[in-house]
C-alpha cells in the first residue's frame, strides 16, 4: 500500500449497506417481528443472509441488460417473493408483511463508529453516499439514522448499478470532480474493484460482522485498495481529520 | 386558495436561488471584491442584476434543444463572458477573476428564516432542494450555509432544467413519490407554474428583495399556488410544524 496524501482527494464517497449501516441485524430483527405473529417458522438470521445473497445476481440482471432498470425496492421484493416461495411459506406471508420486509432496508442501524467518523470527515471533505439503494430509500435511511452526509448519490440517478463503471463515472460527473479526487469507501471487494476500475481512489473498510456469524465478510487482503481501515473513525484518523 | 391539508404531502421540495439563499447580495458583494482591485468601474448591484437576467434565456437554449445540456456553472461562465464583453471590460478581467465570480454562486448567504423554517419542516417531512444548480454547486452551497436538507436534487440529474416538466417528474421518480405528494416551494412564478403543470402541489414564497432594489420580485398574486407564504417559518406554521 503506497503512502496516501489526504490532500489528493476532495470527496469521500461511502457505500451504505454493510459499510455504513448494519443490514444484517436490521433485516434479521424486522423478519423476527414480522414472521412471529404469522407463524412463519424460519431462522431469521439465515433468512436475512439468504435474501442478501440474492442481491448481486439481481443487479447483474440489470447490468447485463437482461432486464430494464428497476430500483432496489423492486429487486428486493422480487427476490423476497422467490425466497418465501422456496421455503414453502408463500401463503403465510401477505402483501403488507412483504412490504414491511422490503421497507426494513429503509430503517437499519448505523454501525457505531459511523456518526463520529463521518462528522470528522465532513470537516475536511465533501462526504457523500454512493449506494445501489435508491435516493428515496437512502433519504429515509439517513433521516432515521441521523448520519450527516453532505449529499446522497444513488444508482438510480445513473439508472445502472455498481460495480458498472458508469455508476462511478456518473457520480463523478454529478460531483463535477475528477474521479481521482474521489475516495470510495466500501466493505466489499467488488465495489472497491469497480471504483478502482473507474479511476477513483479506494479505502477498504473491514466489517467482519457484516454478513453475520454464518458467512465470511470480504477482507481487505483479498483486493487492492489505497487504504485499509477498520472503521470510519480509523479512516478519519488516517486522513488527519 | 383552497384549504390545504398538511397530511396530503410527504416531501417539501425547495427552489434554492432567490427562494432559500440570497443570490443578489452574495453576487453583488463578490463582484465588488473582485472588480475593485482590477479597476473595473461597474455598478456591482446592476451587474448582479444583469447577470441573473441572462439566466432564463440560457436555460431556454438547453430546454429547446438548441444546445446540449451544460451545467449551471458553464452557463454562468458563458453569460459572464458576454456581459463583461458588452461592458467593454473584457481585457481587465482575467480567467481567475471570472472563475471566482462563477464560484460566487456556490457561496451565497441563506435568507435569515431558512435555517429555522427548514429545520421545523424536516421534523415532519422529507425536505429536499430542487434547483437548476448542479449537485456539486448545491452541495458546496449547503455546506457553507449549513442548511439542513435531507437530500439535494439537481437539474443535472435529469439533464434538463426547470421549468421543463421532466425536471419535476424526474425528481418525483427519484423520490419514488406521486408528484401530488410533493410541495414545491419557490419565489418565482415560472417555477410554480412548471411544478403545477407537472402535478406537484405549490407554495409561493414571496421574497420582495430577491432581485434587489432595482427590479420587482415575482408576486404570489401573479400566479396560482396552493399556498402563499412570506418565509420558511411561515410555511412551517401554515403546515402545523
pLDDT of B2 above 90: no
B177 with A126: Cβ contact below 8 A: no
Q: Give the chain B residue nearest A172 (alpha carbons).
A: B136
pLDDT of A141 above 60: yes
| C-alpha to C-alpha distances, A52 to B80, B201, B226, nearest whole angstrom | 51, 38, 43
| C-alpha to C-alpha distances, B87 to A6, A29, B176, nearest whole angstrom | 43, 66, 47
C-alpha cell at A90: 408463500
Q: What is the overall mean pLDDT for chain A?
A: 96
pLDDT of B1 above 60: no
Q: Above pLDDT 90, what percent of chain A?
A: 96
pLDDT in tens, B155-190: 999 999 999 999 999 999 999 999 999 999 999 999
Neighboring chain B residues of A136 at a CB cutoff of 8 Å: 174-177
Of the candidates B73, B126, B174, which has its C-beta nearest A143's C-beta?
A: B126
Neighboring chain B residues of A175 at a CB cutoff of 8 Å: 135-136, 139
The half-sphere exposure of B21 on its side-chain side, counting CA atoms within 13 A, is 25
Range A147-166 average pLDDT: 96
- Among B124, B126, B151, the strongest candidate for a mutation testing the A interface, having the largest count of A CBs within 10 A, is B151
Q: Give the chain B residue nearest A146 (alpha carbons).
A: B150
- Give the DSSP letter string of B110-128: BPTTHHHHHHHHHTTSEEE
Which of the four pLDDT bands, split at 50, 70 and 90, describes residue B24? very high
With both helix axes pointing from N to C terminus, report the angle between A55-63 and A44-53 in degrees, rounded to the nearest 10. 20
CA B141 to mean position of chain CA atoms? 11
- Nearest partner of A22 among A140, A148, A119, A145, judged by Cα: A145
pLDDT at A88: 92
Which of the four pLDDT bands, split at 50, 70 and 90, describes residue B147? very high
CA–CA separation, B102 vs B118, rounded Å?
A: 27
A137 with B176: Cβ contact below 8 A: yes
Which of the four pLDDT bands, split at 50, 70 and 90, describes residue A3? confident
CA-based torsion, A43, A45, A48, A53: positive or negative:
negative
Do B190 and B219 meet the contact criterion of CB atoms below 8 Å apart?
no
| Phi and psi torsions of B105, nearest 5° | -70, -10
Listed in sequence order, the residues at least 6 apart from B88 whose beta carbon sits closer than 8 Å to its beta carbon are: none
| C-alpha to C-alpha distances, B216 to B19, B49, B188, nearest whole angstrom | 15, 11, 11
CA–CA separation, B78 vs B97, rounded Å?
A: 14
pLDDT of A16 above 90: yes
Long-range contact set of residues A25-31: C-beta below 8 Å, sequence gap at least 24: A25/A108, A25/A109, A25/A212, A26/A104, A26/A105, A26/A107, A26/A108, A26/A109, A27/A51, A27/A52, A27/A101, A27/A104, A27/A105, A27/A108, A28/A212, A30/A100, A30/A101, A30/A104, A30/A107, A31/A101, A31/A104
Interface subset of B 93-132, CB within 8 angstroms of A: 126, 128
- Among B129, B157, B166, the strongest candidate for a mutation testing the A interface, having the largest count of A CBs within 10 A, is B157
Neighboring chain A residues of B175 at a CB cutoff of 8 Å: 135-136, 139
Q: What is the dihedral of CA B12, B147, A114, A185, to 10 degrees?
A: 90
C-alpha cell at B175: 423520490
Which of the four pLDDT bands, split at 50, 70 and 90, describes residue A214? confident
A73 with B176: Cβ contact below 8 A: yes
Neighboring chain A residues of B154 at a CB cutoff of 8 Å: 174
pLDDT at B215: 85
CA–CA separation, A233 vs A239, rounded Å?
A: 10
Neighboring chain B residues of A135 at a CB cutoff of 8 Å: 151, 153, 174-176
pLDDT at B72: 95
Q: What is the dihedral of CA A128, A217, A55, A32, to 10 degrees?
A: -100
pLDDT of A143 above 80: yes
B152 with A151: Cβ contact below 8 A: yes
pLDDT in tens, B182-239: 999 999 999 999 999 999 999 999 999 999 887 899 999 999 999 999 999 999 999 9
Range A50-62 average pLDDT: 93
In B63-221, the DSSP E strands lie at 126-131, 151-154, 182-186, 201-205
C-alpha cell at B143: 455546506
pLDDT at B3: 79
Query: Which domains, from first to last, does chain B contain?
Result: 6-22+108-238 (3.40.50.1000), 24-104 (1.10.150.240)
pLDDT at A213: 83
A150 with B128: Cβ contact below 8 A: no
A152 with B152: Cβ contact below 8 A: yes
| C-alpha to C-alpha distances, B185 to A8, A176, B17, B203, nearest whole angstrom | 38, 26, 12, 5
Range A103-114 average pLDDT: 97
Range A139-155 average pLDDT: 96
CA–CA separation, A160 vs B60, rounded Å?
A: 29
Touching check for B136 and chain A: CB below 8 Å? yes
Q: Above pLDDT 90, what percent of chain B?
A: 96
pLDDT at A2: 54
- Nearest partner of A224 among A199, A203, A239, judged by Cα: A203
Amino acid at each position: 500500500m503506497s503512502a496516501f496524501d489526504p490532500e489528493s482527494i476532495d470527496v469521500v464517497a461511502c457505500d451504505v449497506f454493510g459499510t455504513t449501516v448494519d443490514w444484517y441485524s436490521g433485516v434479521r430483527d424486522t423478519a423476527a417481528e414480522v414472521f412471529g405473529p404469522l407463524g412463519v417458522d424460519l431462522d431469521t438470521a439465515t433468512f436475512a443472509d439468504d435474501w442478501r445473497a440474492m442481491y448481486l445476481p439481481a443487479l447483474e440482471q440489470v447490468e447485463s441488460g437482461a432486464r430494464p432498470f428497476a430500483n432496489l425496492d423492486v429487486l428486493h421484493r422480487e427476490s423476497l417473493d422467490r425466497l418465501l416461495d422456496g421455503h414453502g411459506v408463500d401463503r403465510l406471508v401477505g402483501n403488507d408483511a412483504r412490504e414491511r420486509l422490503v421497507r426494513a432496508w429503509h430503517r437499519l442501524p448505523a454501525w457505531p463508529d459511523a456518526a463520529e467518523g463521518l462528522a470528522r470527515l465532513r470537516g475536511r471533505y465533501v462526504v457523500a453516499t454512493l449506494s445501489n439503494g435508491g435516493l428515496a430509500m437512502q433519504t429515509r435511511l439517513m433521516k432515521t439514522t441521523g448520519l450527516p452526509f453532505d449529499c446522497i448519490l444513488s444508482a438510480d440517478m445513473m439508472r445502472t448499478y455498481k460495480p458498472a463503471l458508469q455508476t462511478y463515472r456518473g457520480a463523478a460527473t454529478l460531483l463535477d470532480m475528477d474521479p481521482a479526487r474521489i475516495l470510495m469507501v466500501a466493505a466489499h471487494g467488488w465495489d472497491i474493484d469497480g471504483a478502482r476500475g473507474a479511476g477513483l481512489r479506494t479505502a477498504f473498510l473491514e466489517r467482519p460482522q457484516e454478513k453475520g456469524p454464518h458467512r465470511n465478510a470480504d477482507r481487505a487482503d483479498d483486493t487492492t485498495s489505497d487504504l485499509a481501515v477498520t472503521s470510519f473513525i480509523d479512516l478519519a484518523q488516517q486522513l488527519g481529520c
